[in-house]
Amino acid sequence: MKKIIIILAFSLSATTVFAQTQKQPAKTDPAKAQTQTKAQPAQTEKATINPLTEHFYKKYLTALQWSDYDVAKDALYDLIIENPQNDSLIFNLAYYYYENQKHASAVLVSQQLLARNPKNIGALEIAAVGFEIMGVPDRSLQNFESLYLLTNNISTLYKMAFLQFDLKRYAECLTSIDILLANKDVDTTKVVFNDAANKQKEYAMRVSVLNLKGLAVQEHLGDKEAAKKLFEEALAIAPDFVMAKENLAKIK
């Protein structure tokens, strides 16, 4: 079991604020924060905290201290019931399920967040990965597409290309591949595949993308010569890339 961390802060306006997991800290604009601080009226009353919220948060911290993550999860549910509009709490629950490979629950929780905010990047990523692992590639692709539009992340586009190929959406796959190959980061970003000795090895993403383009060209256009050149181009960069070797051998 992997733990999740929530940071609890009590604001002067007597509300309870929860930050998301430490893995994804919130970004704060110092200038805006300073402006907001100046605009706040003076507080004269002592902040009051919901006693149940305080109790459940102490329960949560104690469970984490003693590595009882099931109890921590239960306390998190209690906190959500007391603070149902707090998206950070719900994200923590989704992330808990994701970290512990309970992908059906992770997806269901992330869907609630996305119903509130379709641009929640963390929820989109959890849903995309969860749907893929659960064997629902079309839903996974939908979430990866939304994620890519928000982040323009090369690794997200890479995942999209493979899912598009698996779904036989070859024209879309080739479009994604061409965008990837035009990105200079495709030469520095690493992906992992097994080598001839069946040991994991890092390769430049370009190698894998060229191999995928060869397969897509062969399936979509039936152009074996173009596919052959693409496999050879991949092998020119990484002579030990097993998949390109095998695909080239099938053409010959």
pLDDT tens digits, 68-118: 999 999 999 999 999 999 999 999 999 999 999 999 999 999 999 999 999
Q: Which of residues 34 and 193 earns the better pLDDT score?
A: 193
Query: Is a pLDDT exceeding 80 seen at residue 182?
Result: yes
Q: How confident is the model at residue 49 (pLDDT cuts 50, 70, 90)?
A: confident
* pLDDT at residue number 19: 31
* pLDDT at residue number 47: 52
Helix, strand, coil content of the chain in percent (nearest 5): 65, 5, 30
Question: Angle, to 10 degrees, between the axis of helix 224-237 and the axis of helix 205-221?
Answer: 170
Q: How confident is the model at residue 5 (pLDDT cuts 50, 70, 90)?
A: very low
| 33 secondary structure, DSSP code | H
Which residue, 118, 233, 213, is CA-closest to 158? 213
Cα–Cα distance measured from residue 207 to residue 241, given in angstroms and rounded to the nearest whole number:
8
Alpha-carbon torsion 240, 242, 247, 252, what sign?
positive
Stretch 53-79: mean pLDDT: 94
Please give the model's pTM, rounded to 2 decimal places.
0.78
